[in-house]
Structure 1
Amino acid sequence: MRPRAVFFDVGNTLLQPYPSVSSVCQEVLSEFGHSADLEAIESLMPLVDAYYEDRYRADDTFWTDEEETSSVWVGMYSLLCERLGIADQAPVIARRVYDEFGKPGRWRPYPDVAPAVTALRDAGIMTGIISNWDRRLASLIEGLGLGGMFDVVVSSADVGLRKPDPRVFVLACERLGVAPEEAVHVGDHHYADVLGARAVGMTPVLIQRTGSDVMPAMAACATIRTFVELPDVLGLED
């Protein structure tokens, strides 16, 4: 069935950090008078990612509260500072890194985003965003010049609901006036995006721009590497 609406996740789906998380951390550290080798920072990123994943698995409801969301990210970057031997200023530096990622200049859309979303809209399909993100998301999307490409932007902290809670998917659909069964959700996270969308009857599409432990058979849904594949998956190819 041709969808009436297609929703997208943001991180690792629509946007990527610019020039990279490690580079931004290095710049901020330099502002505070600390020199850190980029390679050293990058070597600690798996530890930072593990901190996030542990927190996410323990209780993902932090995504529904602005203060809780920021505290998790400050905790991640504080850990990085501490491992670099910068403990005294860690919370302040970490907050500065978090603030940086609220700026449009610290993000870039993937090259395939604009062509794919434009093609959907030209085909008469509504588009939207459903993301576990803080309240800066809408202004971030606007600042990147993508505001006119989406009919609705739903961030978890803004509405007090997070993926995979079925209610956030229902809310997004209601804002566009479509039934969940008439919509598709594209995202990179099996738990948040695939399971959440499927729970309300939306068609999930898993995008894996980089390597992932989730194999197509495990995902039990359409799996793509880039948005170039999306029209075919949605049955929009002539």
Structure 2
Amino acid sequence: MIKAVFFDAGNTLLLPHPSVEEVCAEVLRSHGLRADPEAIRRGLEKADLYYEERYWEDDTFWASEEEAAAMWSEMYALAMREAGVEPSRELGRELYEEFGKGDRWALYPDVMPTVHRLHEMGLRMGIVSNWDVRLPGLCHHLGLSRYLEFVISSANLGRIKPEASIFRAALDRVGVRPEEAVHVGDHYYADVLGARSAGIRPVLLDRTGRAENPDCPVIRSLSELPGLLLTGALER
């Protein structure tokens, strides 16, 4: 019997608001700088490639607030440089700080109805995410706190997904056994393999329909999750 549901944060519950591109443009304008929206988009694509390279080379930066902040600051500076703006080191850091504000994030439309339904079903919920130390504050600002028993960010705990230890910490927070918990996230390596490493059942959230032959239950929207739990269709 499932007693607890853990969630990833980014691309699962939270998304940038109104968009990363627009937030970057607003910060640039505050400094009297301009960049074409398409150039900003291309710059952010380059930054995404930079992130992927860093992540697969060594993902341990997520275990340290200092290293995570430095990585994101470098990434935003790179994006602005690619967009045709020669950024200062401070501008990259300012963009990082901007995304620590609650109004720079929103919940996907399916989040609140789903967590409310899971709450009605008597399930205990929490977040397990590779994120900086600001995540608990963001969740509170977005109104999730009333449904969550904990928010674990990798930078706060000093552990990262897919390490089993970060998931075991989540189990300890709610006092359930691994087979009594489900973890939902969008990243196969961090979320699916990480949950399995701790004996937790994974569910892959594939909002874009890009998952190829995953070996675990897949949903396109969080609204599918309650039904999945009620039918007992989960497999390890």
SS of 2:207's partner is: coil
**Paired position in structure 2 for 1:193:** 191
Task: Quote the offset at 1:90 in angstroms.
Answer: 3.0
Task: Quote the offset at 1:86 in angstroms.
Answer: 2.8
**Paired position in structure 1 for 2:108:** 110
- Identity rate, percent: 50
Task: Quote the offset at 1:209 in angstroms.
Answer: 1.3
Which letter maps to 2:89? P
Which letter maps to 1:81? M
Task: Quote the offset at 1:83 in angstroms.
Answer: 1.7
- Residue 220 (structure 1) aligned with residue 215 (structure 2): yes
Of 219, 225, 229, which aligns to 1:230? 225
Q: Distance in 1 between matches of 2:128 and 2:231?
A: 22
Task: Quote the offset at 1:11 in angstroms.
Answer: 0.3
Aligned runs of 1:56-71 on 2, under 5 Å?
56-71=55-70
Report if the CA contact (8 A) 2:63-2:160 is conserved. Answer: yes
Q: Distance in 2 between matches of 1:161 and 1:152?
A: 15
Task: Quote the offset at 1:54 in angstroms.
Answer: 0.4
CA deviations 1:188-212 (Å, max 9, x no partner) are: 0000000000111101000011243
Task: Quote the offset at 1:45 in angstroms.
Answer: 2.1
Task: Quote the offset at 1:5 in angstroms.
Answer: 0.1
- Counterparts in 2 of 1:182 and 1:94: CA distance versus 1, 3 Å: same
**Paired position in structure 2 for 1:157:** 155
Report if the CA contact (8 A) 2:39-2:82 is conserved. Answer: no
Q: Distance in 2 between matches of 1:81 and 1:211?
A: 30
SS of 1:130's partner is: strand
Which letter maps to 1:135? V
Q: Distance in 1 between matches of 2:88 and 2:78?
A: 8
- Runs (4+) of structure 1 moved beyond 6 Å? none
SS of 2:159's partner is: coil
**Paired position in structure 1 for 2:32:** 33
Report if the CA contact (8 A) 1:32-1:93 is conserved. Answer: no
Structure 2 gaps of 5+ residues are: none
SS of 1:235's partner is: helix
Report if the CA contact (8 A) 1:66-1:157 is conserved. Answer: yes
Which letter maps to 1:126? R
Which letter maps to 2:68? T
CA deviations 1:47-100 (Å, max 9, x no partner) are: 11101000000110100000000111011111112223333x332111111111
Q: Distance in 1 between matches of 2:155 and 2:172?
A: 18
Q: TM-score, normalised by structure 1?
A: 0.94
Which letter maps to 1:123? M
Task: Quote the offset at 1:166 in angstroms.
Answer: 0.3
Report if the CA contact (8 A) 1:81-1:90 is conserved. Answer: no
Report if the CA contact (8 A) 1:77-1:90 is conserved. Answer: no
Q: Distance in 1 between matches of 2:34 and 2:85?
A: 11
Question: What's the RMSD between the two structures over aligned residues?
Answer: 1.2
Task: Quote the offset at 1:147 in angstroms.
Answer: 0.9
Q: TM-score, normalised by structure 2?
A: 0.95
Task: Quote the offset at 1:43 in angstroms.
Answer: 2.1
Aligned runs of 1:1-238 on 2, under 5 Å?
2-87=1-86, 89-212=87-210, 214-215=211-212, 217=213, 219-235=214-230
Q: Distance in 2 between matches of 1:136 and 1:46?
A: 24
Structure 1 gaps of 5+ residues are: none
SS of 1:186's partner is: strand
Q: Distance in 1 between matches of 2:172 and 2:231?
A: 24
Which letter maps to 2:219? I
Moved more, 4-13 or 32-41: 32-41
SS of 2:230's partner is: coil
Report if the CA contact (8 A) 1:82-1:90 is conserved. Answer: no
